[in-house]
């Protein structure tokens, strides 16, 4: 079954290090023959991302901050120059001030609300537009979301609201872009220890809770996320658009604390 991405070229945004969800996706796509361009946010992360990208044979690793239109334009101009078109796009970007990923939700400040929404929700909309302009033979896009969009998860707070917006944006983009044979989906990943996740209050408790209460009695890995992204970004997912697909060991179907769960 190798080679599901043979001949396909695209962009992955959101690798910070080898624990990133985007890195799990990159490895799965690379194993199946994809050619991948990467972006990184700022020089410090570049030091980690450039060698990772090179290890997958990528020679296109560009700096991009999604709060800066010129830096986003430059990325897509470079891709147009290099490949002329792309086939896939992965958006694995989110951010909120960590002082507000704990405590009371209603203490969210205007500035942090706006920043969280801009980086975690609006960026997907504006990047999807740019990516679609290069998907002249159709294509597939995936963003990363979390169950805190659908149900209240302690400490997730304003990020839950941003993810709810991101999931709605996925549906609106899917309808708008469907006529160009571009599919747009969201992967709702279970909790995984990453740089971004370390900002969330009591994250270890969330990990334990999911391990004890999910149907599979375990947490998911970035390889699990990579496998599901491969399905959505390759032609295996050809009939799927507008979906929020859970890669969470089944946690989202559970309605009650498991009887056999240990105390945390």
Binding site for ligand NAD (CB under 6 A): 14-16, 20-22, 41, 45, 64-67, 92-95, 119, 144-146, 189, 191-192, 194-197
Q: Which is nearer to ligand NAD, 33 or 113 (CB)?
A: 113
CA separation for the pair 169, 148 (Å, rounded): 16
* Closest approach of ligand NAD to the CB of residue 16, in Å: 3
Annotated binding residue at 93?
Answer: yes
Q: Sign of the CA dihedral 179, 37, 85, 237? A: negative
Catalytic: which of 40, 147, 156, 251? 156
Q: Which is nearer to ligand NAD, 5 or 66 (CB)?
A: 66
Annotated binding residue at 194?
Answer: yes
CA separation for the pair 62, 91 (Å, rounded): 15
Annotated binding residue at 66?
Answer: yes
Q: Which is nearer to ligand NAD, 94 or 226 (CB)?
A: 94
Catalytic: which of 40, 146, 147, 251? 146
Annotated binding residue at 100?
Answer: no
User: Does 156 qualify as catalytic in the annotation?
Assistant: yes
Helix (H/G/I), strand (E/B), else coil: 46: helix
* Closest approach of ligand NAD to the CB of residue 42, in Å: 7
User: Does 251 qualify as catalytic in the annotation?
Assistant: no
Nearest to 183 by CA among 138, 144, 146: 138
* Closest approach of ligand NAD to the CB of residue 87, in Å: 21
* Closest approach of ligand NAD to the CB of residue 3, in Å: 26
> Length of the chain, please?
264
Question: In the sheet that 88-91 helps form, which strands lie side by side, from edge to edge?
Answer: 61-63, 35-40, 9-13, 88-91, 139-145, 182-189, 244-247
Annotated binding residue at 163?
Answer: yes
The 3-state secondary structure of 3-33 reads CCCCCCEEEEECCCCCCCHHHHHHHHHHHCC
CA separation for the pair 21, 80 (Å, rounded): 26
Enumerate the known binding-site residues for NAD(+): 14, 41, 65-66, 93, 163, 192-196
Enumerate the known binding-site residues: 14, 41, 65-66, 93, 163, 192-196
Catalytic annotation, residues: 146, 156
């Amino acid at each position: 079954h190798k080679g599901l991405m043979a001949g396909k070229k695209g962009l992955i945004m959101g690798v910070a290090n080898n624990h990133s969800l985007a890195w799990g996706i990159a490895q799965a796509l690379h194993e199946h023959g994809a050619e991948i361009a990467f972006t990184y946010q700022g020089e410090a992360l570049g030091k980690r991302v450039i060698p990772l990208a090179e290890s997958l044979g990528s020679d296109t690793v560009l700096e991009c901050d999604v709060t800066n239109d010129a830096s986003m334009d430059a990325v897509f101009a470079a891709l147009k120059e290099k490949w002329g078109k792309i086939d896939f796009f992965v958006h694995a970007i989110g951010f909120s001030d960590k002082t507000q990923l704990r405590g009371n939700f209603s203490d969210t400040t205007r500035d942090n609300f706006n920043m969280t929404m801009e980086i975690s929700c609006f960026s997907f909309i504006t990047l999807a537009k740019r990516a679609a302009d290069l998907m002249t033979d159709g294509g597939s896009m995936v963003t990363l979301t979390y169950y805190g969009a659908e149900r209240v998860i302690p400490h997730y707070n304003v990020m839950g609201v941003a993810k709810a917006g991101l999931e709605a944006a996925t549906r609106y983009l899917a309808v708008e872009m469907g006529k160009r044979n571009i599919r747009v989906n969201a992967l709702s990943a279970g909790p995984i220890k990453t740089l971004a996740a370390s900002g969330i209050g009591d994250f270890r408790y969330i990990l334990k809770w999911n391990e004890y209460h999910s149907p599979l009695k375990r947490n998911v890995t970035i390889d699990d996320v990579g496998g599901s992204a491969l399905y959505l970004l390759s032609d295996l997912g050809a009939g799927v658009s507008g979906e929020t697909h859970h890669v969470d060991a089944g946690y989202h179907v559970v309605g009650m604390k498991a009887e056999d769960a240990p105390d945390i």
